[in-house]
C-alpha cells in the first residue's frame, strides 16, 4: 500500500503551462471540427485547408486530451497526498468531487455533444482504489492499460465491440445542431451525446488509454517528475528520446491517411500508442525547455493562469463555439472552411485570455474552479 513521502506539494507552474497549452489546443481543434457539426460542403475555403487540417490533426487530435488526462491524475495525487499528510482520507471527498464534475459535464453536454467531463468523472472514480496501490503494482497496471489490452484481445479472438449506435447518434445530433432550436439541440446532445462519446472512446481504444493516463499522472506525482529535482530532467530526456524514436518509426512504417498516420488492420491497437508517443514527446519538450531556458519559461508563464482556469475555459469555449457554428446561432458550420475556422478558434482563445486575465487580477482561480473547490470542501476546513 502506498504511503505519503511527506514532501511538500508546491504549485507546479510547468503543469499549469501544459494545461494551458492543452486548453488552447482543444479549443482550436474543436473550432476546426465546428464542435462536431460537419457539413458536406462549405462556401468559404482556402487552398491551404487540407495542409492546415493535416497539421492540426497530427499535433492536436487526441494529444491535448491525453495531456489533460495525465494532469488530471497528477491533480488527484496532489490533493490526496496533501490530505494524507494531514492524516485524512481523501476517498469520499474525491468521489463527491467527481459527482460535481459530472454535473459540470452535463451542463457542458447541453451545449457540446463531445463533452469529456462526464467520462472523466466516471473513470476518475477508479483513481480512488489506485491511490492505495503500491507504486510497482500501479506501474504494472498502468503499462497494461496503455498497451491497449482490449484491442489486443480483439485482434486475437476476432471479437469486436458493437459501436453501430454511434453513427446513428451523430446523425441525429447533427440534424438538431444544424437545423434545430437551441432547446432541440440541447435535447439531442443530452439524449445521445454521452452514449456516442463512450462508443467512440471504445472504438478508438480511448477507454483503457485514458484510465492509463490518469494512473500515469498519479505516478508522475509520486516520482515528483514535474519538479526540477535530482535526475528528473535526465528522465525527461530519456522520455523525449524514446517518444521521438517511436513517433519517427510510426511515420516511417505507417500509412498516410488525410495527414494522419494509419496502421492498417492494426490501427485500433497501434494508433492510440502512436498518439501516446506524440503527447509524451510534447510534454517532454515543454518540461525540458521550461527548466532549461528562462526566456521560454517567461513566455509560457503568461498562460499559466489560463491553465489554472481550464474548467471555466472548457465550458466557456463550448458556449461561444457552438453559438458561432451551430444553426441556432450564427450557423458558420456551412460557411467556414478549415483555415477560417482555425482563425475563429484563435479569436475564441484570445477573447477568453483577455476576459480571464482580467478575472485573474483579483481571483486566484476561475469562477467555475472556485465554485468546484468550495463545493468539494463543503463542510470541511481541510482545503
Look-up: residue for cell 491551404? Answer: 48
| 273 located within any domain | yes
Confidence band for 325, pLDDT divided at 50, 70 and 90: very high
Name which residue leads in pLDDT, 188 or 269.
Answer: 188
Neighbour count for residue 204 (Cβ, 10 Å): 17
Q: What is the distance in angstroms between the CA of the first residue and the CA of the last residue of the chain?
A: 25
| 178 located within any domain | yes
Partners of 255 in beta bridges: 262
Name which residue leads in pLDDT, 351 or 61.
Answer: 351
pLDDT value, residue 164? 84
Cα–chain center distance at 232: 24
pLDDT value, residue 102? 97
| 368 located within any domain | yes
Q: What is the 3-state secondary structure (H, E, C) of the chain?
A: CCCCCCCCCCCCHHHHHHHHHHHHHHHHHHHHCHHHCCCCCCCECCCCHHHHHHHHHHHHCCHHHHHHHHHHHHHHHHHHHHHHHCCCCCHHHHHHHHHHHHHHHHHHHHHCCCCCHHHHHHHHCCHHHHCCCCHHHHHHHHHHHHCCHHHHHHHHHCCCCCCCHHHHHHHHHHHHHHHCCHHHHHHHHHHHHHHHHHHHHHHCCHHHHHHHHHHHHHHHHHCCCCCCCCCHHHHHHHHHHHHHHHHHHHHHHCEEECCEEECHHHHHHHHHHHHHHHHHHHHHHHHHHHHHCHHHHHHHHCCHHHHHCHHHHHHHHHHHHHHHHCCCCCCHHHCECHHHHHHHHHHHHHHHHHHHHHHHCCCCCCHHHHHHHHHHCCCCCCC
The grid coordinates listed for 134 are: 503500491
Domain of 249?
13-376
pLDDT value, residue 383? 54
pLDDT value, residue 258? 62
| 112 located within any domain | yes
Question: Angle formed by the axes of helices 267-292 and 63-85, to 10°?
Answer: 60
Neighbour count for residue 291 (Cβ, 10 Å): 17
- pLDDT, average across residues 215-226: 97
pLDDT value, residue 158? 85
C-beta separation of 39 from 334 below 8 A: yes
Q: Per mean pLDDT, which of 51-60, 267-276, 308-317 is the most reliable?
A: 308-317
| 58 located within any domain | yes
Considering only CA atoms, give the Rg of the chain: 21
Angstrom distance (rounded) from CA 13 to CA 5 = 21
Angstrom distance (rounded) from CA 98 to CA 188 = 24
pLDDT value, residue 259? 62
Q: Mean pLDDT for the chain?
A: 93
- Calculate what percentage of the chain has a pLDDT beyond 70: 98
C-beta separation of 366 from 311 below 8 A: yes
Look-up: residue for cell 459501436? Answer: 163
Confidence band for 264, pLDDT divided at 50, 70 and 90: confident
- pLDDT, average across residues 130-157: 94
Angstrom distance (rounded) from CA 274 to CA 200 = 18
Neighbour count for residue 100 (Cβ, 10 Å): 16
Is residue 178 predicted with pLDDT exceeding 70? Answer: yes
pLDDT value, residue 382? 61
Name which residue leads in pLDDT, 58 or 139.
Answer: 139
Weakest mean pLDDT among 131-140, 162-171, 240-249, 352-361: 162-171
Weakest mean pLDDT among 105-119, 207-221, 242-256, 316-330: 242-256
Confidence band for 33, pLDDT divided at 50, 70 and 90: very high
Angstrom distance (rounded) from CA 361 to CA 350 = 17
How many domains does the chain fold into? 1
Is residue 292 predicted with pLDDT exceeding 90? Answer: yes
Is residue 298 predicted with pLDDT exceeding 90? Answer: yes
| 113 located within any domain | yes
Confidence band for 114, pLDDT divided at 50, 70 and 90: very high
What are the Cα distances from residue 37, in Å, to 114, 178, 326, 339, 343? 10, 7, 7, 16, 17
Confidence band for 341, pLDDT divided at 50, 70 and 90: very high
Cα–chain center distance at 271: 17
- Calculate what percentage of the chain has a pLDDT beyond 90: 77
| 37 located within any domain | yes
| 122 located within any domain | yes
* Residue pLDDT, tens place only, 85-100: 999 999 999 999 999 9
CA atoms within 13 A on the CB side of 127: 34
Please state the φ and ψ torsions of residue 29, each to the nearest 5 degrees: -70, -35
Amino acid at each position: 500500500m502506498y504511503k505519503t513521502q511527506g514532501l511538500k506539494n508546491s504549485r507546479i507552474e510547468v503543469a499549469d503551462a501544459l494545461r494551458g497549452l492543452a486548453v488552447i489546443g482543444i479549443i482550436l481543434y474543436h473550432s476546426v471540427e465546428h464542435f462536431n457539426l460537419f457539413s458536406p460542403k462549405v462556401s468559404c475555403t482556402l487552398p491551404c485547408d487540407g495542409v492546415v487540417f493535416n497539421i492540426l490533426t497530427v499535433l492536436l487530435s487526441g494529444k491535448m486530451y491525453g495531456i489533460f488526462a495525465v494532469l488530471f491524475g497528477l491533480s488527484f495525487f496532489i490533493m490526496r497526498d496533501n490530505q494524507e499528510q494531514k492524516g485524512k482520507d481523501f476517498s469520499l471527498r474525491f468521489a463527491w468531487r467527481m459527482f460535481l464534475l459530472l454535473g459540470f459535464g452535463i451542463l457542458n453536454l447541453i451545449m457540446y455533444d463531445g463533452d469529456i467531463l462526464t467520462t472523466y468523472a466516471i473513470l476518475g472514480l477508479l483513481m480512488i482504489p489506485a491511490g492505495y496501490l503500491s507504486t510497482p503494482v500501479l506501474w504494472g497496471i498502468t503499462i497494461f492499460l496503455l498497451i491497449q489490452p482490449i484491442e489486443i484481445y480483439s485482434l486475437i479472438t476476432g471479437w469486436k465491440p458493437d459501436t453501430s449506435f454511434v453513427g446513428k447518434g451523430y446523425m441525429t445530433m447533427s440534424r438538431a445542431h444544424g437545423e434545430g432550436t437551441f432547446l432541440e439541440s440541447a435535447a439531442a446532445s443530452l439524449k445521445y451525446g454521452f452514449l456516442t462519446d463512450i462508443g467512440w472512446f471504445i472504438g478508438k481504444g480511448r477507454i483503457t488509454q485514458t484510465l492509463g493516463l490518469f494512473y500515469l499522472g498519479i505516478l508522475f506525482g509520486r516520482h515528483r517528475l514535474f519538479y526540477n529535482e535530482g535526475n528528473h530532467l535526465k528522465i525527461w530526456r530519456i522520455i523525449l528520446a524514446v517518444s521521438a524514436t517511436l513517433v519517427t518509426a510510426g511515420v516511417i512504417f505507417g500509412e498516410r491517411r488525410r495527414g494522419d498516420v494509419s496502421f492498417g488492420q492494426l490501427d485500433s491497437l497501434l494508433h492510440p500508442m502512436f498518439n501516446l508517443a506524440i503527447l509524451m514527446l510534447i510534454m517532454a519538450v515543454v518540461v525540458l525547455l521550461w527548466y532549461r531556458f528562462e526566456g521560454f519559461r517567461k513566455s509560457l508563464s503568461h498562460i499559466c493562469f489560463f491553465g489554472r482556469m481550464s474548467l471555466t475555459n472548457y465550458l466557456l469555449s463550448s458556449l461561444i463555439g457552438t453559438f458561432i457554428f451551430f444553426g441556432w446561432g450564427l450557423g458558420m458550420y456551412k460557411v467556414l472552411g478549415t483555415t477560417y475556422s482555425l482563425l475563429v478558434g484563435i479569436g475564441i482563445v484570445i477573447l477568453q485570455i483577455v476576459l480571464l486575465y482580467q478575472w485573474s487580477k483579483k481571483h486566484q482561480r476561475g469562477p467555475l474552479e472556485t465554485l468546484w473547490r468550495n463545493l468539494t470542501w463543503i463542510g470541511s476546513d481541510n482545503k
